[in-house]
Amino acid sequence: MIIQATEKDFGVVHKILSHKSIYPYISDDYCPIEPIKDLGLDFLNNEYIKVLMPNEDSVFVFTPLSMNMYIVHTNVLPKSRGKVAIRAGKEVVRWMFKNTQCTSIISFVPSWNKQTLIYGSLVGLKRIGIIEKSFKKNDIMYDQVIIGIMKGDL
C-alpha cells in the first residue's frame, strides 16, 4: 500500500534521504557535506509535491513542472533494492497516473550514476535526452541523462 507522506512521517523520510547510501547520490557540490539535520517540513506540507512511500525503506518525491509533468526523485534503502524496488517504482508511477493529473514523469540522472539509469529502465522509464555538464560533483561537471515515462507506457 502506498502512503502519501505527511508531517507525521518526517522522521522516516529524513532517515531515508540522509542515509549514507542515498545522500551522496542526491546531493551535489552545492549541498552541505553532511545531510541537513533540521530538513524542513515544507515539501511535506506542499499540496503539489507528492511524497510517496510504497514501503518502509523507500521514498519517491514527485515535484511538478506543470500539473501534467512531474520530476521524480527516487530514494531506496539498500535492503529494499532489486525486485522490491522495481515493484515499488512501478507502483508509485501507476499511483501518480491514477491519482493526479500527471501524464508524464521524468528524472534527471547524473551520467555517472549507472545503477539509477538501469533501475529507471527496469521500472519503464526511457532515455529522452541529455543536459550537458549540468551536475557538479566533487568539482567535476557531469552530464545529466533525462529519463521518463508517459501515462499508458506502463
pLDDT tens for residues 74-119? Answer: 999 999 999 999 999 999 999 999 999 999 999 999 999 999 999 9
Range of the domain at 43: 3-150
Residue 126 to residue 113: CA distance in whole angstroms: 15
Write down the pTM of the prediction: 0.93
Is-contact 119 78, C-beta < 8 A? no
Task: Report the number of distinct structural domains present in the chain.
Answer: 1
Residue 104 to residue 151: CA distance in whole angstroms: 6
Q: What CATH number is given to the structural domain containing 128?
A: 3.40.630.30
Would you give the distance in Å from CA 124 to the centre of its chain? 14
Structure confidence at residue 36 (pLDDT): 64
Which residues are within 8 A (CB) of 108 and not within 5 positions of it... i.e. 6 or more apart? 71, 131, 134, 135, 144, 145, 146
Structure confidence at residue 38 (pLDDT): 59
Q: Identify the sign of the CA torsion 37, 15, 25, 104.
A: negative
pLDDT tens track, the chain, 154 positions: 999 999 899 899 989 999 999 998 888 888 876 766 656 667 888 899 999 999 999 999 999 999 999 999 999 999 999 999 999 999 999 999 999 999 999 999 999 999 999 999 999 999 999 999 999 999 999 999 999 999 999 8
Structure confidence at residue 43 (pLDDT): 83
